Amino acid sequence: MNEYSHLSPLFTELACLPKGHRRRSRLRDRLIIEHLPLARHIAKRFSQRGEPLQDLEQVAVLGLINAVDRFDPARGPEFLAFAIPTITGEVLRWFRDRAWTIRVPRRLKELDMSISTAADRLTQELGRAPTPSEIAARLDVALSDVVESIQAREAYRCVSLDVPLSTESEDESVHNGILARTDPGVALVEDREVLSPLVDALTEREQRIVLLRFFEDMTQNEIGQEIGISQMHVSRVLTAALERLRQALTADTRGVRATAGTARTPGPGARSTGLSVAGQRCGGNAPRRRERRAPR
């Protein structure tokens, strides 16, 4: 049992309620509120990177909301096994979007935020993307400063190729450059990067089962047929592997890698969320077969 286990039935009830049902909204709000300590704990793990803790907590809460909305209790693991990497990935994406690759003057960073706000408002007012000159007029700043800030944005994040790079192209739209475009494949890559060092600490069989289950989206029966073991055996191995991943994710470490079969060593101030992964619900037993070594 863990401090969140009493909420599991609520996820099942939420999944069964049709969209628009009056109780659905109340259940969703309660699940988000009850799991706020988890989001704050994950945010605190990144508090040494120089960003305000309040900002990190807001991002972590967005990740929590996303996890609550996407979680499907019928797929197997408990909510925390799904929520922790989801929230962590949201925070990492936020850091990625805020990472400047070269040193940019503070005035340009501050102007960049004002440009984004002004561009959004002008877009609503004009019914189209504003030009740099229109943004400069709205902010009462020099056109050259607006263009310089847009150029500096290239060091901040990837932008559209349509962003004007000089005052000669001031009449071109800058809206697409101001609103960052996210590659849909980035989320998957980041999830792999977050989990990769933790998965390395698992046994070869545990690694294969976890990857087949969560990255290849195979059912437990399909996994059993793939590697030559029963569905019940897959369930037991998966539960044990998720528990060890949970221990590593919830431990507040500072780069200390655990050896295979052990959890990470908690650093100062670490606090366990009390997560445990319950046994997987079995969708029918696959016939037992003689076990063979899983292919690498």
CATH, residue 4: 1.10.1740.10
Of 178, 210, 242, the residue that ends a domain is 178
153 pLDDT band, cuts 50/70/90, is low
Residues 195 and 294 in one domain: yes
Residues 189 and 294 in one domain: yes
CATH, residue 169: 1.10.10.10
pLDDT at 166: 40
290 pLDDT band, cuts 50/70/90, is very low
Residues 72 and 150 in one domain: no
Most confident region among 50-59, 107-116, 123-132 by mean pLDDT = 50-59
Distance in angstroms (rounded) separating the CA atoms of residues 174 and 135:
10
pLDDT higher than threshold 50 for residue 145? yes
Most confident region among 74-78, 106-110, 203-207 by mean pLDDT = 203-207
pTM: 0.38
Of 178, 205, 226, the residue that ends a domain is 178
52 pLDDT band, cuts 50/70/90, is confident
Residues 232 and 272 in one domain: yes
Number of domains in the chain: 3
Residues 13 and 55 in one domain: yes
List the domain range (segments joined by +) for residue 35: 1-99
pLDDT at 2: 64
295 pLDDT band, cuts 50/70/90, is very low
Residues 94 and 119 in one domain: no
Of 129, 161, 178, the residue that ends a domain is 178
